[in-house]
């Protein structure tokens, strides 16, 4: 299933690199190494036989800070520091990239981190691996909850914040994925960064920008920026687990918050396409075909993906190329949103990864 919002046509007098004239981003601290590179993937394009493929390397925003989450945290942690907070509380799955990035960023800034992490049975996995190991190395306090309790994550984090405040410290809560009207700004700025790079690489050529979508602020920020600046690029948010209806609800909430805090309440109608045809077995579950695609991409590009987000999204892109969605002279940018540490927590039969020809 897919759903497309109406796309804004660029005005005749559109500047070469559209910018956001009436929008002043909130305060931000600089944690990510930016701009991340935009690279062409010639061998992958040839192998898949469709459009010219590019990659936006947000896997290179920093080592422990790699991925899309650091862009959102630049705004959240600036707000936390401005409020005089000394302890940051956030939540996610045990292998959450957002929680790992928060733990590392807090270590960098001298803040304490408290993570509410979801596991299948609500217990500590014991032997941490992947992102969870990095959380521990960075000194984050980890509290584990069941999926049923995680449904009440906002109340749980409010309770943790109250306990921390009662002990004389100053807590700051960041919602799941830093996906709200503030975190969205990370990807408003990011979309402007990509638009400038595309203008250099492909002047005047509209591209399709394909990315993995989950908690929503990555999509919300890109969509907002592209729409408000009248960019002619087409954005595709490839869900990694949720239905379009769920994703749409999240986006509406984020855009509403952003409109209230930034634009005096005017709700924008950002242009983008939502796709939920490629969720496979669901969030965090990986099919053999998805692993095969992930291995193929690494062999042909050297990029390291992750099974939950980027691996699933690029598999979706491959399926759509094979189905003839794009022409040969189209350009598609795959936004690599990071997540590579999660491969160290995955177990996969070697046979599934296939062999090069
Ligand atoms: C590697 C990676 N890519 C993409 C996403 C999706 O971003 P968002 O949650 O902003 O939709 C996430 C979110 O956890 C992620 O960790």
pLDDT band at 183 (very low <50, low <70, confident <90, very high): very high
Model pLDDT, residue 356: 65
Q: Is the pLDDT of residue 2 over 70?
A: no
Report the atom number in ligand 1 closest to the C-alpha of 218. 10
pLDDT in tens, 79-94: 999 999 999 999 999 9
Residue 68 CB less than 6 A away from ligand 1? yes
Please give the structure tokens belonging to residue 261: 């805090």
**Ligand 1 pocket member 131 (CB < 6 A):** no
Q: Give the residue whose CA is nearest to atom 3 of ligand 1.
A: 337
Distance from residue 156's CA to the centre of ligand 1 (Å): 22
Contacts made by residues 314-321, CB under 8 angstroms, sequence distance 24+:
315/278, 315/280, 315/289, 315/290, 316/210, 316/238, 316/275, 316/277, 316/278, 317/210, 317/238, 318/48, 318/293, 319/277, 319/278, 321/48, 321/49, 321/50, 321/51
What is the arithmetic mean of pLDDT over 269-293? 94
Higher pLDDT among residues 200 and 5, named by residue: 200
* Cβ proximity of 176 and 215 under 8 Å: yes
Is 6 designated active site?
Answer: no
Cβ of 213 closer than 6 Å to ligand 1, yes or no, is yes
Q: Are 144 and 151 in contact (CB under 8 A)?
A: no
Instruction: Please state the rounded mean pLDDT for residues 301-323.
Output: 98
52 lines ligand 1 (CB under 6 A): no
Residue 225, helix vs strand vs coil: helix
**Cβ of 241 less than 6 Å from ligand 1:** no
120-145: average pLDDT: 96
Checking DSSP bridges between strand 38-40 and strand 52-57, what pairing results, if any? antiparallel
pLDDT at 347: 82
CA quadruple 113, 119, 121, 124: dihedral, nearest 10: -50
Locate the ligand 1 atom nearest the alpha carbon of residue 217 and give its number: 10
Distance 185 CA to ligand 1 centre (A): 15
Cα R_g (the chain), whole angstroms: 20
The dihedral sign for the CA sequence 49, 241, 225, 232: positive
- Tell me the whole-structure pTM to 2 decimals: 0.93
Cα dihedral 130, 135, 139, 140 sign: negative
DSSP state of 120: T
Please state, for a pLDDT cut of 90, what percent of the chain lies above it.
82
pLDDT at 6 over 80: no
CA of 304 to the centre of ligand 1 (A): 15
Q: Which CATH number fits domain 69-178: 3.40.50.2300, 3.40.50.1100, 2.40.30.40, 3.90.226.10?
A: 3.40.50.1100
Residue ranges in the chain assigned as alpha helix (H): 42-48, 69-82, 97-109, 130-137, 147-150, 153-166, 185-201, 217-228, 244-262, 288-301, 310-322
Tell whether ligand 1 has an atom less than 6 A from the beta carbon of residue 95. no
Q: From the CB of 309, is ligand 1 less than 6 Å away?
A: yes
Cβ-contact 138, 112 below 8 angstroms:
no
**CA 339 / ligand 1 centre spacing (Å):** 8
Q: State which ligand 1 atom lies nearest to the alpha carbon of 213.
A: 11
The string of pLDDT tens digits covering residues 265-274 is 665 668 899 9
Average pLDDT over residues 142-165: 98
Closest CA to ligand 1's atom 9 = 215
- The answer to whether the CB of 184 is under 6 A from ligand 1 is no
- The residue to which tokens 């193929």 are assigned: 296
CA 124 – CA 36 distance, rounded (Å): 35
For the chain, what percentages of helix, strand and coil (3-state, to nearest 5) are there? 40, 15, 40
- Which residue among 66, 96, 179, 239 is the active-site one? 96
**pLDDT of 357:** 62
- Residue intervals of the chain classified under CATH 3.40.50.1100 are 2-65+181-353, 69-178
The per-residue pLDDT of the chain, averaged, comes to 92
Instruction: Specify the DSSP class assigned to residue 15.
Output: -
Residue 321 near residue 50, CB atoms below 8 Å: yes
Cα-to-centroid distance, 169 and ligand 1 (Å): 30
The position carrying tokens 């940018």 is 333
Report whether pLDDT(15) > 60.
no
The CATH number of 2-65+181-353, from 1.10.10.10, 3.30.2270.10, 3.40.50.1100, 3.40.50.2000, is 3.40.50.1100
Return the pLDDT at 76. 97
CB 70 within 8 A of CB 349: no
92: CA distance to ligand 1 center in Å? 11
At residue 260, the pLDDT reads 76
Note the Cα 62 to chain centre separation in Å.
15
Of 21-30, 137-146, 290-299, the poorest mean pLDDT is in 21-30
Higher confidence at residue 357 or residue 352? 352
Q: How many helices (H) and strands (E) does the chain have?
A: 11, 11
């Amino acid at each position: 299933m897919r759903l497309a919002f109406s796309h804004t046509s660029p005005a005749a007098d559109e500047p070469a690199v559209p910018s956001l004239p009436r929008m002043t981003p909130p305060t931000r601290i600089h944690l990510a190494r930016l701009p991340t590179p935009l690279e062409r993937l010639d061998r992958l394009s040839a192998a898949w036989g469709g459009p010219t493929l590019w990659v936006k390397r947000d896997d290179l925003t920093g080592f422990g800070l790699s991925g899309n989450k650091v862009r959102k945290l630049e705004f959240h942690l600036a707000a936390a520091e401005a409020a005089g907070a000394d302890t940051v509380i956030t939540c996610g799955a045990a292998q959450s990239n957002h929680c790992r990035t928060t733990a590392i960023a807090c270590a960098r800034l001298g803040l304490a981190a408290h993570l509410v992490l979801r596991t299948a049975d609500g217990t500590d996995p014991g032997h941490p691996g992947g992102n969870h190991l990095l959380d521990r190395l960075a000194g984050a306090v980890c509290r584990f909850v069941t999926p049923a309790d995680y449904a009440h994550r906002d109340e749980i984090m409010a309770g943790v914040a109250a306990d921390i405040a009662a002990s004389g410290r100053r807590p700051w809560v960041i919602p799941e994925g830093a996906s709200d009207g503030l975190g969205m700004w990370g990807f408003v700025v990011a979309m402007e960064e990509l638009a400038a790079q595309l203008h250099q690489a492909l002047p005047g050529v509209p591209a399709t920008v394909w990315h993995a979508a989950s908690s929503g602020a990555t999509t919300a920020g890109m969509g907002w920026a592209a729409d408000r600046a009248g960019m002619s690029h087409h954005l595709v948010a490839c869900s990694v687990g949720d239905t379009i209806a769920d994703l749409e609800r999240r986006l509406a909430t984020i855009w509403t918050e952003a409109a209230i805090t930034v634009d005096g309440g005017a709700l924008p109608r950002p242009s983008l396409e939502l796709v939920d045809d490629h969720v496979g077995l669901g969030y965090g579950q990986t099919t053999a075909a998805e692993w095969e695609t992930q291995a193929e991409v690494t062999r042909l590009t050297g990029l390291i993906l992750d099974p939950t987000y980027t691996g699933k999204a690029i598999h979706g892109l491959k399926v759509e190329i094979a189905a003839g969605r794009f022409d040969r002279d189209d350009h598609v940018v795959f936004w690599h949103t990071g997540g590579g540490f999660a491969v160290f927590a995955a177990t996969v039969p070697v046979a599934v990864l296939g062999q090069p020809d």
